[in-house]
Structure 1
Amino acid sequence: MNQVPIGIFCDFDGTISKSDLITSIANEFAGQTGRAIVDRVQRRELSIKSGVEAIFHSIPSSRLPDIIDYTRSLTVIRDGFDELVQGCISRGWMFAVVSGGLDVFVDPVVEPYRDSIKVFCNHLDDTGEHLAIRWMVECDAACDGGCGLCKPSVLRQFRSQIQAEVVIGDGVTDLKAAAEADYVFARDRLRRACDEQGISYWPFKSLSEIIPILDREVQNQSDL
C-alpha cells in the first residue's frame, strides 16, 4: 500500500479558531454552571465527554439560533490556516480537522476545503427540550475512554495509510493524540501538559510556522 508521507491531525477550538468556542458558549449560555464544568474539565477532574454533555444539556434547544450567531461573530481564524492547508494539498499530505467541537461552527470554516481535507467533529442536536451532543467518533478499545470525539481513535483509523502522524493543538483534549503522534505542535494548555508528560513538541503562534518545520523533518528523514 502506498503511504502518504505526512498526516496532519489539527484541532479546531483555540487552534484553527483563535477562540475556544466551547468554553465561550459555556460562559455565555450556561452561566456559572458552565464555567464550573469547564474548570473541572481543564483540571482533568471530569472527562471531556461528561463535561461537554453537561454544559449543553443545561441550555434550552430554543437557544440554538443564538449560539450559531454568537459563534459566527466570535470566530477568528488563526494566521496561516489557508497556508497550512494549501501546503498539505500541494505536497500530497493528508490534512484532517479533528475537533471535539461542533458542526455549527466548524463546518462554515472548513467548507472551502471540503473536497481536499477530512473533517471530524460532533453534531449539535436541538430535537429535544435541551441541546444534546451526538458524538461522531467514539473511543475505541485502545482508549481508556471519556474523550467525546476520540482523537487517538481517529489517528489509528489512518495509521496504515501515512508514514508520520502530526498533531496540532492547544488543549487537554489533544493530549492523548499528542502522546501517540510522531510530531506535535502545541500551544497554551497542551504545551503545559506536554511539559508535564515529557512529550516533545514545537511551540507555535501562527499556523504558517508548521509546514517549513515539517519540510525540514521530511528532508532529514530522507537523508538518513
Structure 2
Amino acid sequence: MKHYPVGVFCDFDGTISKSDLIASIAYEFAGQAGRDLVRRIQRRELSVREGVEAIFRAIPSARLPEITSYTEQLTVVREGFDQLVSGCIQRGWLFAVVSGGLDIFVHPVVQAYRSEIEVFCNHLDASGEYLSIEWDVTCDDLCDGGCGLCKPTVLRRFKPDNDVQVVIGDGVTDLKAAKEADYVFARDSLLRVCREQGIACTPFESLAEVIPTLEQEVSL
C-alpha cells in the first residue's frame, strides 16, 4: 500500500453533505417509526447497524427511485469540499470518504475524484420486497461492534501507511474514529461529545478550514 504522510478521513452525512441524509430518508419514507429509530440511534439505545437496518426494512424496495430522486434534490455540498480534496491530492495526502451512508447519494458527489481518493460507504439493496443494506466495512476484532460502517477499522487499515491521521465529522457515529485519530475536526453532535469526553478537537464550518489549520498546528 502507498505511504501517505497524512490520512484525512471524512464523514459524508452532515459533513460533506450539509444534510443528514439517512435521517432525512427515515423521516420522509419510514414515518413515525423512522423518527423513533433515529432518536434511539442518537441516544445510543440502538447500535447504528441495528437502527439503520430497521429503518430500511420498513421501506418497500419499489420506492428506491423516489429515494434516489429525493436525496439528489436534498444534497447540498458543504463549502470548501473541492478545496479540501484537491489540496490533499496536491500534497500527496490520502483523502478518504468514510461514510455510514449509501452509495446512491455518496458516489454522485465524489465521482469527479474517484480515481484519486478512497470511498467507503454502504450499498442499498432493492432485490427483496423491502430495502436492505450491504455493509461495506464490518467491525474488526478491536471494535466493540454495532457500527453501520466501522470507521475505526478503516483508520486501522491505513495506520501503517500514515504518519498522521485526521478525522472530520459531525455525529456520534464518528466518535469511535475520533478516538483513534491524531487530529479531529468536529461540529454539531461530535463536537459536543468530544468536549464532554475530553477529546481534543477543532470546530469547523467550512471544509476549506481544514488544510490551513493542519499546516499551522500539526507537525507534518
1:26 pairs with 2:12 = no
1:217 Cα shift? 2.8
Secondary structure of the residue aligned to 2:164 is strand
TM-score (norm 2): 0.98
Partner deviation per Cα, 1:163-206 (whole Å, 9 max, x = no partner):
01000000011000001100000000000110111100000000
In 2, Cα distance between equivalents of 1:51 and 1:2: 36
Measure the CA separation in 1 of the matches of 2:140 and 2:217. 30
Aligned twin of 2:155: 155
Identity across aligned pairs (percent)?
A: 68
- Please give the secondary structure, in 2, of the residue aligned with 1:158: helix
SS at match of 1:173: helix
Aligned to 1:16: 16
2:210 pairs with 1:210: yes
Is 1:57 matched with 2:48? no
Please show how residues 162-177 of structure 1 align to structure 2 within 5 Å.
162-177=162-177
Unaligned 5+ residue runs, structure 2? none
Query: Which residue does the alignment assign to 1:182?
Result: 182
Could you say which residue in structure 2 is the equivalent of 1:132? 132
RMSD: 1.0
Aligned counterparts of 2:163 and 2:20: Cα–Cα separation in 1: 30
SS in 1 for 2:141: coil
CA distance in 2, matches of 1:45, 1:58: 19
> Which ranges of 4 or more aligned residues in structure 1 deviate by more than 2 Å?
none
Q: Specify the code of the residue in structure 1 equivalent to 2:164.
A: A
Shift of 1:142: 0.2
**Mapping of 1:71-90 within 5 angstroms?**
71-90=71-90
Write out per-residue CA displacement over residues 140-164 of structure 1, whole angstroms, 9 at most, x where no aligned residue.
Answer: 0000000011000000000000001
Unaligned segments of structure 1, at least 5 residues: none
Amino acid at match of 2:204: F
Matches within 5 A, 1:70-109: 70-109=70-109
Give the C-alpha shift of residue 2 in structure 1: 7.2
- The one-letter amino acid paired with 1:177 is A
Instruction: Give the letter aligned to residue 124 of structure 2.
Output: L
